[in-house]
Structure 1
């Protein structure tokens, strides 16, 4: 896979390329387009070379200048998609962590089928208040965000009602390392692992654990969640990436399927969790 930031840039370049082709098809120069739009020729050049992202108004003006106003809607949608593909955490979390938790509620409530893979921490909808507090506190300290951890934890717990309410299904994979990483005190980890055992009993949840000893066809990846096989949210240290292109979604579904083949389920998965609890002593 190419890096998330480079893929976002590729999407911006695709929009810029479509705008350039539109100008060429209209048979006008960059200078003439600038005159028709009422801006500088250098701005036209920056937009065409993906140096400056166009606004919605810029795209409408460009399409009008080229005599193709009907193209504006699709181009605006593509431009917005490119802009949202790669969003830095510092932008998402600048007012604290609570609002970010709350912003995900509509998507969680409308999603019927979740595919989630976690290589580093327990998935958010399985987290206990103690575990979430320890994790979000460390994130807030690291990023220097406003201290609203208590409110963010409450919002995360509220968002997690989807595992027990409504028509939702969860296919979840975690690496065995997730069970062993110490997030919080041993007591916090014991409570969290115990909650995983109880969550596994819910009929809506399929939880697989990839053992350390499993032969790997797919290497450990960054954490990601697939919503209704239509969009993927990927989490890196620097940013949150959203993918909606069918080919990209299919790539993550393929990776999920490959990792699922070597995951432990049922009694074998419970044994891995109970071993991790015992190791806390």
Structure 2
């Protein structure tokens, strides 16, 4: 655990942002600790990117209190900005430069940058160091974007939809990179549309809908608090499949054990996925619609406190 693991990196109260008649951010509250990977989920237009832009100091707010690394982003100094890295959805690196030239160039903007070759190795681009950016694949360009986001050695890294357009293999490799950065003690704020990604990486999540935080907590706690009832499925002696939706699955299984006098054929207990919970919280799934329940299983995706150094 880091020395300041329980200190606050980001503190937001009553954040508001208006665009004409449209309220993009409507009273958001957030508290993010140092060394934490914090996920922000929400549909398009929910206010995720606007919130991240305000945290980084690239957009002014209309109301509320914001403290990031102990300073107000709206009036922060250049020294403060050097402590915050950001990876936007859109690529910004010049296509004609090589990977090494680009990383070295961006390193000059910071008072105490990381070693460019070390950062290139960190993001897995050593073999492409001499390649021009225009020759890189989409996943490799995204890795370069992350390199530019961390070259200044930031205390806080903001990632806005970082794996959009990745194939599954590239996304998993990117997750390993984020885990490594978290292990080094970097505080990471991640916005994503991929629920599996959020559950694999984030220690805590905030779900935003219509500019408001509608739920916050660990993924498992959100499933427990907001998920629908569990489904218990089994096979009858005549071979016919049966299932029951219940809020007390343990009791249902116990009753089945008594009825079957032991082993229950085809037993399966499923609970709502994070996606089911997310869709309900954001108003995209009603209570009457079926969920894609997942079997009970240990959580193997999210990095532990030991893996992240927290």
Compute the TM-score of the two structures, normalised by the length of structure 1.
0.26
Report which of the two has the higher share of strand: 2
More helix by share: 1
More RCO (CA 8 Å, sep 6+): 2
